[in-house]
Chain A
Amino acid sequence: MPVLAALVCGLVFGVGLAVGGMTNPAKVLGFLDVTGTWDPSLAFVMGGALAVNAVGFALTRRRPRPLFAETFALPTLRDIDRDLIVGGAIFGVGWGLVGLCPGPALASLLRGELPIYAFVAAMIAGMGLDRARRLYT
């Protein structure tokens, strides 16, 4: 059941990305191009997602445990540290360079476009690089 629930959540999440326009890199770049041909649509994606999720989170946190799991796996880190800011900054540069972030990139895999495969392969390699760095530092 937890795996089926995750599949359904992934499906709905993917539908949301496509309906909202997040799956078009040109639209994402238009959102980030504040001083140019600004397309503020993605602020509405974020606003809609935040509004629903904030209500959902407030309701869920009152429950003793998730429906299909023993415990809630919530992040435990609290400090605003260097890794968080440097990592966020590096991510933003990559995002602004091509207009793709992890969710929309994976959601576009079935379009059969070579550029998406190149991006996703490099993204997984980048994640692997950071994990390897952690092992050796």
Chain B
Amino acid sequence: MIATSFTPWQSLAGGALIGLASAALLFADGKIAGVSGILGRCLAPQPGDLAWRIAFLVGLPLGATFAIRLSGDPHGFAITSSVPTLVAGGLLVGFGTSLGSGCTSGHGVCGLARGSQRSIAATLTFMATGALTVFAVRHLLGAG
């Protein structure tokens, strides 16, 4: 387990940029900036609906890498999970976001900003099961 420090200002600024990008995608292209949906619908794309998705998804790592290089990576990067756990986690995240029509960005940032009842329900649900999972792994099993 790695304890990280509280970074309210950087996190608020990062959040504002995420909000700006989401608002701009709706304003310019009329699309919701939900990463799981943008990725998931690349698997069986509608005609003419693929290029903007790929462009957005390519932008994510380029933007993040640019920021990390420029800032010297103040938050760091640490994965404590084993590869089998990562594979299990990936399967759950992929299956769950597809079944539940969204993730942290689509429901948590865009849906809540639109006042969507579905997104409020989904966000409360994944926040709760996420916190319960961390509690179980760290405090009941003493791992992670």
Q: Are A118 and B86 in contact (CB under 8 A)?
A: yes
Residue on B with the closest CB to A39? B4
Residues of B within 8 A of A92 (CB): 96, 125-130, 132-133
Q: Show 25 residue pairs from A and B whose CB-CB distance is below 8 angstroms, ordered by the A residue.
A: A3-B52, A10-B63, A14-B63, A14-B65, A17-B63, A19-B67, A30-B4, A39-B6, A45-B11, A48-B13, A49-B22, A50-B15, A87-B99, A89-B128, A94-B94, A97-B89, A98-B89, A102-B35, A103-B60, A115-B79, A119-B87, A127-B36, A127-B39, A127-B43, A131-B40
* A83–B99 touching, CB < 8 Å: yes
Contacts of A18 in B (CB 8 A): 14, 63-65, 67-68, 71, 75
Chain B interface, number of residues (Cβ within 8 angstroms): 113
Name B's interface SS: helix
Residue contact A56 to B19, C-beta cutoff 8 Å: yes
Q: Which single member of A53, A70, A88, A90 contacts B23 (CB below 8 Å)?
A: A53
| Beta-carbon nearest neighbor of A116 in chain B | B79
Contacts of A29 in B (CB 8 A): 1, 80, 134, 144
Given the known inter-chain contacts A12-B24, A48-B14, please indicate yes or no for A91 contacting B86, CB distance below 8 A: no
